[in-house]
Amino acid sequence: MHKILIINGPNLNLLGNREKDIYGDQSLEEIEEISKKKSKKLNIKLNFCQSNSESEIIELIQSVQKTYDGLIINPAAYTHTSVAILDALRAINKPKIEIHLSNIYVREDYRKTSITASGVDGSICGFGYLSYILAIEALNSLLNNNK
């Protein structure tokens, strides 16, 4: 059984109440529930967390090397600003996928650049909560092909 971690960045704890036209109606708890159901079907043990703290996110990323088989991360606003998170992503050699609920490439200019994307194997954005499901499926494929 593969073990994966999903890390959610700042302000994602406000989903369901925050800018529903951009981020959708689902709360982070609902997305977690949907993600865990999908993971269970794929025989994946999923840990799901959220932090508003850059240092906590970095420590979670660093834990992947020893504790998990892969990582899915929604860095949220840190996507566009955090070289420290990029460095942490580059320091682990496990499959990693970056996700976003919204399509960052059709938003404000400052959101169109993902600093963190060069530290992951691939990115999925613009599909709302389905970005999580697609990432779980993609990570599962990466892990199964690496056997």
Alpha carbon 18 to chain centroid distance? Answer: 18
Can 100 be counted among the known catalytic residues? yes
Can 23 be counted among the known catalytic residues? yes
Alpha-carbon distance 109 to 103, whole Å?
12
Alpha-carbon distance 55 to 141, whole Å?
30
Alpha-carbon distance 65 to 93, whole Å?
7
Alpha-carbon distance 42 to 39, whole Å?
5
Considering the candidates 2, 68, 78, 100, report the single residue annotated as catalytic. Answer: 100
Considering the candidates 2, 23, 68, 78, report the single residue annotated as catalytic. Answer: 23
- The token duo for 11 is 């302000």
Alpha-carbon distance 10 to 70, whole Å?
21
Name the burial class of residue 100, with classes exposed (0-12), middle (13-18) and buried (19+) by CB atoms within 10 angstroms of its CB: buried
DSSP-based three-state secondary structure for 80: helix
Residues with catalytic function: 23, 100
